[in-house]
Amino acid sequence: MAKIPTPHIEAKAGDFAKTVLMPGDPLRAKFIAETYLKEVRCVNQVRGMLAYTGTYKGKELSVMGSGMGMPSIGIYSYELFHFYDVDNIIRVGSAGAIQEDVNVMDVVIGMGASVVSDYPDQFGCPGHLAPLADYHLLSTAVESAKELGTDVKVGNILSEDAFYSERSKDCFQKMGVLAVEMESGALYLNAARAGKRALCILTISDHLYRSEELSSEQRQNGFGKMIEIALETAVRV
């Protein structure tokens, strides 16, 4: 374990649980902690990237914001995996639908994350790495969703650096990619390199081919089904 605290996280050794839920928005992390966890304590406030540790159904869990984009989640997930001895990170985020049969408020689980970014280049592999979710987390999440009575769509998602992108998504739609977001590719690659486990569970907040979108307040506080799946998964791993 490297020296901690890090430049980005002020937590001490042992402040994080083995499993961390990671929304992009730090205020969503605060909402999850205050709504679902017991015995909650704040373990990070550096740069406003709030992190909390508490218990859910008797098991210690943490929740921390990741910020937006692969560079941001790349930093935080790397430090959690390598410096704070975290074993599992479950991203709980929002995404834009690409497929016609994926609708606003649907829950999508990313089995793989196609990447439009130079982030994978740092690992020096020839060809193209395929960032994948951990199968144990994935299968546990699917089973948890069934028990909760929540329908989920499982498949490939797209992680892209640019939010305001002029690049067409038509190719990805034709290839069956379900939705686009900005973080999961880096998370999956960091987990693979560290020998740890990661999963991305998303709620659809808008549709790229239809004029449908949620408000910022709905994005912050309205993702209960996704959060419940993530929590039930976390207590089983």
* Segment holding 100, helix H or strand E: none
- Kindly state the tokens that stand for 62: 């943490």
Task: For strands 51-56 and 59-64, give the pairing.
Answer: antiparallel
CA distances from 206 to 98, 136, 165, 212 (A): 9, 29, 15, 5
Distance, CA of 36 to CA of 220 (rounded, Å): 14
Catalytic residue among 85, 87, 161, 206: 206
Say if residue 150 is exposed, middle or buried (CB neighbours under 10 Å; 0-12, 13-18, 19+).
middle
Collapsing DSSP to helix, strand or coil, 79 comes out as helix
User: How many secondary structure helices (H) and strands (E) does the chain include?
Assistant: 7, 10
206 is a catalytic site residue: yes
Residue 205 · residue 124 · CB < 8 Å: no
Looking only at Cα atoms, what is the longest distance across the chain? 48
User: Known catalytic residues?
Assistant: 206
